[in-house]
């Protein structure tokens, strides 16, 4: 049995457009030292999937820099490994709107690579799903059931606002999918939610892509799954661990803050010894704490300089907090510089932001302030 992986790096970029103007969704920082792509990449590597394709869209320079040769995930291999797949586009279609907008369109755009696959099964995953899942168990269920496609789902409560950002999956007693409800506007309650992680038979995937090209299909859910429910064997894999889907900038902020507030959630992501989350390793100096530094309930990466007060915050590599400054309930990306006697609350600062001496900035827990990359405030 052989398995390959496909990761969609740009699906749902628009959900957090503040952070994806100059990078893909896959390379958005998360949790002090990680990028969102680290979760699907690590899930696959931990399940012995060592041939992985990352389908890109645009703005993927930072993604290429992060992944590099793949050595940090043990993917720097002569056979297999990780590869970046830019979409195929002609010289005459130079408008960004001519690129893909859905998973199926993304697969169509890289059919040149799909057609060359030789594995038995393919695992596909989005990047906006944060979880630590045992894909070996899911693949085993897929093979045992004889399914054409197995979709990972989680049974969970949904508000109306949350439901309209998800696809609900309905099954019979045997776990066979009987219906799907994409992005309902008036649903509230408990339901099986599609995690946008699926296992598909490789030959069937190749058939699906060719069929989509021939008929102009654009949606995996509406044009493939819903059209084929009557005669194809589609199953679910019930996942019961921690799961977070980033559907807005506010969601992004809240899920980061949960890493500080909820130890059980933190452990379910990063505390599973058999399934560690890998990321790019950087050789930085240890963080320096001055005699006046005060730090409470925060995640701080290496290479930082802390001379002020940091509470309930997440600091990425190379952040400096000056003397007398106070940072509360905030996320500071790499190389953010906070001057002296500044105050920052409920904020997200992108890379290389400079906050000058004495400046006070604050958002709200439900509407955090965003400071764009490279700004001086």
Q: Write out pLDDT tens, residues 291-319.
A: 999 999 999 999 999 999 999 999 999 99
On the question of pLDDT at 97 being above 80, the answer is no
Average pLDDT on 110-139 reads 94
Residue 216 vs residue 122, higher pLDDT: 122
Rounded alpha-carbon distances, angstroms, from residue 354 to 28, 65, 176, 351, 375: 20, 23, 53, 9, 6
Residue 88 has a pLDDT of: 66
Among 180, 181, 185, residue whose Cα is nearest residue 164: 185
With cut-offs at 50, 70 and 90, classify the pLDDT of residue 362: very high
Residue 93 has a pLDDT of: 46
Q: Left, alpha or beta for 249 (phi > 0: left; psi -120 to 50: alpha)?
A: alpha
Tens of pLDDT, residue by residue over 18-38, are: 999 889 999 999 999 999 999
Residue 59 has a pLDDT of: 81
Residue 99 has a pLDDT of: 61
Residue 129 has a pLDDT of: 86
Beta-strand pair 320-321/305-306 = parallel
Q: Which of the residue ranges 90-104, 115-129, 169-183, 310-324 would you say has the lowest mean pLDDT?
A: 90-104
Average pLDDT on 322-335 reads 97
- E-strand spans in 290-334? 294-296, 299-300, 305-306, 309-311, 314-315, 320-321, 326-328, 331-332
Contact 190, 166 (CB under 8 A): no
Residue 314 vs residue 104, higher pLDDT: 314
Q: What percent of the chain has pLDDT over 90?
A: 75
User: Whole-angstrom Cα distance, residue 295 to residue 65?
Assistant: 31
State both tokens at 228: 């084929």
Residue 89 has a pLDDT of: 60
Residue 346 has a pLDDT of: 97
User: Whole-angstrom Cα distance, residue 8 to residue 100?
Assistant: 11
Residue 92 has a pLDDT of: 46
Q: Give the DSSP letter string of 202-244.
A: HHHHHHHHHHHHHHT---IIIIIIHHHTTTS-EEEEE--S-EE
Among 26, 62, 25, 59, residue whose Cα is nearest residue 41: 26
User: Which class for 93: exposed (0-12), middle (13-18), buried (19 or more C-beta within 10 A)?
Assistant: exposed
Q: How many helices (H) and strands (E) does the chain have?
A: 10, 28
Mean pLDDT of the chain: 92
On the question of pLDDT at 145 being above 50, the answer is yes
State both tokens at 109: 């755009």
Domains of the chain in sequence order: 3-270 (3.90.550.10), 288-371 (2.160.10.10)
Tens of pLDDT, residue by residue over 55-77, are: 998 788 889 999 999 999 999 98
> DSSP class of residue 88?
P
With cut-offs at 50, 70 and 90, classify the pLDDT of residue 165: confident
Among 107, 121, 79, residue whose Cα is nearest residue 212: 107
Average pLDDT on 110-120 reads 92
Query: What does pTM read for this prediction?
Result: 0.93
Residue 235 has a pLDDT of: 97
């Amino acid at each position: 049995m052989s398995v390959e992986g496909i990761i969609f790096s740009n699906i749902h970029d628009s959900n957090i457009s503040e952070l994806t103007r100059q990078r893909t969704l896959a390379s958005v920082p998360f949790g002090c030292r990680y990028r969102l792509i680290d979760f699907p990449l690590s899930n696959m590597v931990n399940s012995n999937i060592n041939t992985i394709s990352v389908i890109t869209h645009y703005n993927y320079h930072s993604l290429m820099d992060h992944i590099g040769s793949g050595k940090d995930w043990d993917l720097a291999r002569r056979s297999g490994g990780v590869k970046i797949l830019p979409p195929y586009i002609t010289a005459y279609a130079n408008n960004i709107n001519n690129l893909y907008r859905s998973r199926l369109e993304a697969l169509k755009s890289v059919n040149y690579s799909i057609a060359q696959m030789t594995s038995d099964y393919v695992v596909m995953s989005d990047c906006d799903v944060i979880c630590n899942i045992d894909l070996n168990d899911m693949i085993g269920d897929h093979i045992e059931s004889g399914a054409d496609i197995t979709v990972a789902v989680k049974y969970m409560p949904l508000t109306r606002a949350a439901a309209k950002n998800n696809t609900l999956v309905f099954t019979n007693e045997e776990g066979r999918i009987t219906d799907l409800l994409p992005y309902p506007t008036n649903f509230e309650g408990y339901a099986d939610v599609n995690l946008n992680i699926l296992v598909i038979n490789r030959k069937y995937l190749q058939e699906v892509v060719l069929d989509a090209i021939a008929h102009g299909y654009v949606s995996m859910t509406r044009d493939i799954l819903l059209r084929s429910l009557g005669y194809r064997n589609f199953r679910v894999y019930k996942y019961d661990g921690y799961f977070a889907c980033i559907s807005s900038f506010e969601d992004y902020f809240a899920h980061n803050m949960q890493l500080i507030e909820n130890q059980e959630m933190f452990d379910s992501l990063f505390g599973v010894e058999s399934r560690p989350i890998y990321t790019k390793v950087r050789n930085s100096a240890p963080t320096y704490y001055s005699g006046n530094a005060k730090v409470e309930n925060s995640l701080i990466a290496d290479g930082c300089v802390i001379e002020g007060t940091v509470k309930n915050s997440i600091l990425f590599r190379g952040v400096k907090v000056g003397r007398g400054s106070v940072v509360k309930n905030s996320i500071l990306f790499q190389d953010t510089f906070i001057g002296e006697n500044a105050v920052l609350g409920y904020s997200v600062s992108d890379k290389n932001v400079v906050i000058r001496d004495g400046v006070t900035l604050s958002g709200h827990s439900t509407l955090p302030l965003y400071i764009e990359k490279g700004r001086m405030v």
